[in-house]
């Protein structure tokens, strides 16, 4: 298997995309650390369903820098190394300018950016420091089509994902001399998770019609690309942001 003897930490692994990524990496032979914040039952069920042995559950609030460093330390203490970090955790809140107060606007940005961008940046720092010591590693950040297409009424989400793409590219240049390869993927709508309500509601048909395939992505399709980027042979992809949107938005 391509990732035999590799270790991987996946943030937000109790959600639909995170679960699919964990399954794909474990099937490739990796030992997986399943990060969760509040979804303990889903995280435990995922751990018990993964092939292989040595998988971990790690609880952490990604808005808290100390929790992030402890999360990475816990994985390293268990395995002695960390080969792959997947920053998948994310959140969003609606905050249309014509519907929220100034203080609500600020709160929305603080909450979303603290997890989607600052939390991911802090995880990158902690993982990269370990990877420098061990001679290399891989960081894969889950961004969004919204960073390019725009996220009206959820501008903090689009801004945080645009920042995550830029962070990935900057780190790819900074960390390359340490054999640490940094990439990002930018999905559009994906079945399950945050998209469930929209896809089931009156907007669902129009959302699916954004792609000429007339559907949205399956979590397994995002996981397939993450698995490819995590595996040996994808080093030359460092710095890339890969669009995963079924031709719903071309740039």
Please report, in tens digits, the pLDDT of each residue of the chain (251 residues total). Answer: 799 999 999 999 999 999 999 999 999 999 999 999 999 999 999 999 999 999 999 999 999 999 999 999 999 999 999 999 999 999 999 999 999 999 999 999 999 999 999 999 999 999 999 999 999 999 999 999 999 999 999 999 999 999 999 999 999 999 999 999 999 999 999 999 788 888 999 999 999 999 999 999 999 999 999 999 999 999 999 999 999 999 999 99
CATH of the domain at 157: 3.40.50.720
213 lies in some domain: yes
Domain that holds residue 138: 7-244
- Distances 196 to 2, 128, 138 between C-alpha atoms, Å: 33, 34, 30
95 lies in some domain: yes
250 lies in some domain: no
2 lies in some domain: no
66 lies in some domain: yes
Q: Which residues are CB-neighbours of 238 under 8 A, at least 6 positions away? A: 172, 176, 181, 182, 183
Structural domain count of the chain: 1
- The per-residue pLDDT for 197 is 87
The residues assigned a catalytic role are 157
249 lies in some domain: no
- Buried b / exposed e over 155-189, threshold 16 CB at 10 Å, is bbbbbbbbbbbebbbebbeebeeeebbbbbbbbbb
Closest by CA position to 26, among listed 184, 226, 185: 226
Taking the CA atoms of 133, 138, 142 and 143 in sequence, report the sign of the dihedral they define: positive
Distance CA 242, CA 131 (A): 23
- Distances 98 to 67, 105, 147 between C-alpha atoms, Å: 35, 10, 22
Whether the Cβ atoms of residue 109 and residue 158 lie closer than 8 Å to each other:
no
1 lies in some domain: no
Edge to edge, the sheet with strand 7-10 lists 56-59, 31-36, 7-10, 84-87, 137-142, 180-187, 241-244
Distance CA 228, CA 184 (A): 12
């Amino acid at each position: 298997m391509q990732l035999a003897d590799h270790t991987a930490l996946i943030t937000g692994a109790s959600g639909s995309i995170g679960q699919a990524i964990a399954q794909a990496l474990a099937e490739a032979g990796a030992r997986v650390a399943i990060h969760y914040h509040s979804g303990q039952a889903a995280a435990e069920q995922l751990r018990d369903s993964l092939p292989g042995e040595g998988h971990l559950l790690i609880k952490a609030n990604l808005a808290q820098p100390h929790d992030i460093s402890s999360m990475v330390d816990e994985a390293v203490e268990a395995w002695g190394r960390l080969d792959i970090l997947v920053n998948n955790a994310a959140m969003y809140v609606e905050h249309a300018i014509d519907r929220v107060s100034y203080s609500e606007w600020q709160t929305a940005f603080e909450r979303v950016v603290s997890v989607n961008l600052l939390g991911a940046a802090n995880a990158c720092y902690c993982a990269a420091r370990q990877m420098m010591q061990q001679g290399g590693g891989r960081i894969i950040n889950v961004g969004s089509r919204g960073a390019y297409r725009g996220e009206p009424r959820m501008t903090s989400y689009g801004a945080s994902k645009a920042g995550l793409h830029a962070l990935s590219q900057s780190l790819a240049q900074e960390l390359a001399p340490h054999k640490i390869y940094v990439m990002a993927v930018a999905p559009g709508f994906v079945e399950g998770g945050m998209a469930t309500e929209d896809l089931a509601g009156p907007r669902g048909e129009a959302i699916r019609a954004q792609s000429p395939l007339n559907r949205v992505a399956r979590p397994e399709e995002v996981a397939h690309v993450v698995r490819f980027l995590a595996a040996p042979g994808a080093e030359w992809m460092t710095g890339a942001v890969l669009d995963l949107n079924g031709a719903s938005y071309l740039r």
